[in-house]
Each structure stands twice: as structure tokens, then as C-alpha cells.
Chains A and B, each alone.
Chain A
Amino acid sequence: MIQTQTYTIKHTAAGSIKPVINIKGLHKSFENTQILKGVDLNVKKGENLVVLGKSGSGKSVLIKCLVGLVTADQGELKVFDTDITKLNNHQLNTIRIKIGFLFQNSALYDSMTVRDNLSFPLKRHSKKLTNKEVEDSIIEALESVGLKKAIDKMPSELSGGMRKRVGLARTLILRPEIILYDEPTTGLDTITSREISELILSIQKQYKTTSIIITHDMACAKLTGDRLVILKDGVMVAEGSYEALEKSNDSWVRSFFI
């Protein structure tokens, strides 16, 4: 059994706030491979939590469990005090509307323009909105990611960084309270990665969101993370601020920061 090491947390102010995500003893295996072996995790309101770990350590599975894309084998997954493992599909959907998910490859709908990509979820969940209100929301979401000019473009005409921004705008349009980022800077150059990291921070300030950011990019982790956790072989092995983990006694934990 690996003991979780904890280090000083940068934003101690978050300590007294109630967690919006509460994971206890999460287990998940695929066929004969056990991916998550009892993960415990709390995320407080307004906090940016960065999850680090090697490829295959179960980071993506962890956040997919949170939105019900992957069904957990065992454990408690509380989001807004509701255990999502016990919900039916309809109840799960009411929670999902409050959670934004930015996919690794942005997952924009290829057959739709940027405008349609954004209006697609909005029109289905806010049926009373007039066309003008929908258009205004689309423009507002695109402005907050700095991409208003791409409104009539098809996803195939966008660069990797632009796709990430549009993907983020699409999650923002439903005004989520939690945003889950699955490797937001993977495959982008250093400058674009930094821009995306800064965007994550500005979104957190503007929309007061709580975020879980899964990344390999230490620059992104340093910039965006209020708190970092490290997963190894399906369990959480370290937790703390960037600075604290950087000076860890454990050479394996330190190796992430080299």
C-alpha cells in the first residue's frame, strides 16, 4: 500500500470551503487490467486541481468516471453532494449540464460550423432562448476565448490551438460550475500552450469555475494549479503545491519537475 504524501498547499484559503467533488475509494478495471485502485480525492469550490501521472496511470479514466462516460466498479463519486454512481440517466444528465469537459482532441463536431458547434448544446438545454439570445451567448463564449472571428469556420479550417479554444467555448456556453480538462496543452507549441494555460486561469476568474486539469505539461501545471496530485499505478501518491512537490524527498515525484 503506497502512502500518500502531502505537502503545503499554496491556496490555504480554499481549506474551509466545502468540496464540490468528493471521490472515495474509486476502483476501475478494464478486462483484466486494474486501472484505478482506490483513489480518494476532494476538490473544493473555485479550486484548480492538477492531476499528474505517467501515461496509462488512469488520469483520463478518473475524470471520465466523474461524468459517467466510464462506469466505476467500486467507490463513491460525489459531485455537488450527489453520488453519481447511483443516478439514472436522466438524473446524471442534470449533473452533466453543470460539468464542462474539454477533450484532448477538442472533439468538435466535424460536420458543423463553429457557430453550430456552440449552439448545438445550448439550443437543446435552453429551449426558451430566442435566436438573438443564442447568438449573443455564442459571441460571448467565443469572445472569452478570443476567437470571435472564427464563428463561421468549419473545425477542419482551425489550427490545434484554435480547436482547443473553440472546444473550451463550447463547454463554457452552458455555464458549467466545474470544468474538466483532459490534457489541454498536449500537441501544442510552447507559446500556444502558455496561451491556453492563461486562458484556463482567466476562465476560472471570469466564470468562477472549479477545475480538474490533467496534464503532462509542467509549465501548464505550474501556471494553473492551486494544488497538484500525482497518480501512480492507480493510486494517489503525492499531493501539494507545485513548489512543495518540486522539493519532495521522493525522487520519483521530483522526476516530474526535471
Chain B
Amino acid sequence: MVISLKNGFAEAGNVTLFTARFFREVFKPPYELKEFIRQCYTIGYKSIPLVAITGFIMGLVLTIQSRPTLAEFGAESWLPGMVALSLIREIAPVITALICAGKISSGIGAELGSMKVTEQIDAMEVSAINPYKYLVVTRVMATTLMVPLLVVLADGVGILGGFAGINIHSDVTFYRYFSQVLSSLEFLDIVPATIKTFFFGFFIGLIGCYKGFTAANGTESVGKAANSAVVTASLAIFIIDMMAVQLTDLFF
């Protein structure tokens, strides 16, 4: 009990130091721009199909599932607005972030974990290259910028999915559907939901990197790093979401 508590505090301390190091290194030259762009491509561009498909399905399913309840109140005309609001405020950011935790965080954890185990990180260090800057800063920056873009994509595709869902039972033109969606959205629906996605992205990258970078020596630890990166990142997403929603509720 005491040992696990001690380990817990030690882990929290290590994560804090690891995060602090990110802020120390991120502004200091030299900048690894090429690697950052490569990571943006791998993390952002390569996740587009997955995020688009899940985004479309989210919109479609949400519309189909909500229709009967709204129909009971004779409020079917609210469907586009309600779907758009749910998607933009909550569902698209959280589901996309969870998908990214599964795809990106585990990928980073496994990649850096295997680099650590096969001494590639040590090899960088002995050739006087800062592995933290090359591996961690670039990846965390890439996830912080790419996850919000993927969420915006999921928002858009999700709304299209909603349009497909509505047209299963009724006949609504795309123009009418879209103008209803836009009229129901306000500035305050979009901005706080977008801000929180930067935090999602930051933690997805940071947790993946931390788990990989601190993997113990041995191939078993690579699997553990990947697995624990997904679990921790997913949990972090829910915690950040809860805090973001409460802060938004408090201030707006």
C-alpha cells in the first residue's frame, strides 16, 4: 500500500518533469522542422480515413437514434440543430480524441518504447543529439495541432452523416438542412469545444511519448508502453473533458 502510493507519487513527479522539459525544449533552437512535418503527415493525414468514417457513422447513428424521441414531441424539425450541437460540443471531440488515443498514442508508445529497448535513443544521446527534442517535442507538437484539425473534420463529416440519416425517413434538401444546422450554432458552441481539443491532442502525444520514453529494458515493456499509453490517454481525455465542460459552464 505504502509502496504503491510512493510509486504513484514518483510517477506523478516524473510526468510533471517530463512535461516541464517539453516547455523548456519547445522554444529552444535548433528546431526539428522536417521531423515535425513528417509527424504531422503520419499523425494527421494518415488518420483522415479512420476519423472520417467514424465521424460519418456518428452523425448518421445519432440522427437515427434521436429521431423517435423528437418525433414523439413533434419536434422533428429540431433534429439537424440538435445533431449538430451534440456533435460539435461533445461527441466529435471526445470520440475523435479516443480514436486518436488508440491509434496515435499507442503507436507513439510502441515506437519510442522499441527505440528505447533497442538502444536507439541512447545512440542519439551519445552522438550528441537531443533525443527528447527530436522524438518528443516534434510528436507532441504534431498531435497538439493535428487532433483539433481531425476533430473539425469529424464535425463536418458527422454533420453530413446527419444529413444522410435524416433523408432515410424524410426528404430534406441539403441547403435547408445546412441552414438549420448553422442557425442553431453559436460562437460559444464552437470555441470552447475547439479549445479543449488542443489539450486532448497535447496529452495524447505527451502520454504516448512518456510511456515510450520511459519503457524499461526488454521487449515485454514495448507492449506494456503501448497498452498503458492508450489506457492513460483515454482516461486523461475524459478527465480533461469533464474539467473543460465545467469551466465552460462556469464562465459562459
**B is bound to A:** yes
Chain A residue at smallest Cβ distance from B121: A107
Q: Determine whether B118 belongs to the interface, using a CB cutoff of 8 Å to chain A.
A: yes
Contact B129 A103 (CB under 8 A): no
Chain A 84-124, CB within 8 Å of chain B: the 1/0 string?
00000000011011010101110111110000000011001
Q: Determine whether A13 belongs to the interface, using a CB cutoff of 8 Å to chain B.
A: no
In the complex, which residues of chain B have a beta carbon less than 8 angstroms from the beta carbon of A125?
Answer: 128
Contact B127 A69 (CB under 8 A): no
CA separation between A108 and B124, bound complex, in Å? 10
Within the complex, which residue of B122, B128, B129 is in contact with A107, where a contact is CB–CB below 8 Å?
Answer: B122
In the complex, which residues of chain B have a beta carbon less than 8 angstroms from the beta carbon of A69?
Answer: 122, 125-126
In the complex, which residues of chain B have a beta carbon less than 8 angstroms from the beta carbon of A93?
Answer: 128
What is the total of A-B residue contacts with beta carbons within 8 Å?
50
Chain A 14-30, CB within 8 Å of chain B: the 1/0 string?
00000000000000000
Besides the known contacts A107-B122, A110-B118, 10 further A-B residue pairs in the complex with CB atoms under 8 A apart: A67-B126, A94-B128, A96-B126, A101-B123, A103-B122, A107-B119, A107-B120, A120-B129, A121-B127, A170-B127
CA separation between A68 and B125, bound complex, in Å? 9
Chain A residue at smallest Cβ distance from B38: A111
Contact B119 A105 (CB under 8 A): yes
Q: Determine whether A174 belongs to the interface, using a CB cutoff of 8 Å to chain B.
A: yes
29 residue pairs bridging A and B, Cβ less than 8 Å apart: A69-B122, A69-B125, A93-B128, A94-B128, A96-B125, A96-B128, A99-B126, A101-B123, A101-B126, A101-B127, A103-B123, A104-B119, A105-B118, A105-B119, A107-B120, A107-B123, A108-B120, A109-B120, A109-B123, A110-B115, A120-B127, A121-B127, A121-B128, A124-B30, A124-B128, A124-B129, A125-B128, A170-B127, A174-B127
- Counting contact residues on chain A (CB < 8 A from B), the size range is 20 to 34
- Counting contact residues on chain B (CB < 8 A from A), the size range is 10 to 19
In the complex, which residues of chain A have a beta carbon less than 8 angstroms from the beta carbon of B128?
Answer: 93-94, 96-97, 121, 124-125
CA separation between A93 and B125, bound complex, in Å? 8
Chain A residue at smallest Cβ distance from B34: A123
CA separation between A68 and B115, bound complex, in Å? 19
Chain B 121-149, CB within 8 Å of chain A: the 1/0 string?
01101111100000000000000000000
In the complex, which residues of chain B have a beta carbon less than 8 angstroms from the beta carbon of A110?
Answer: 114-115, 118, 120
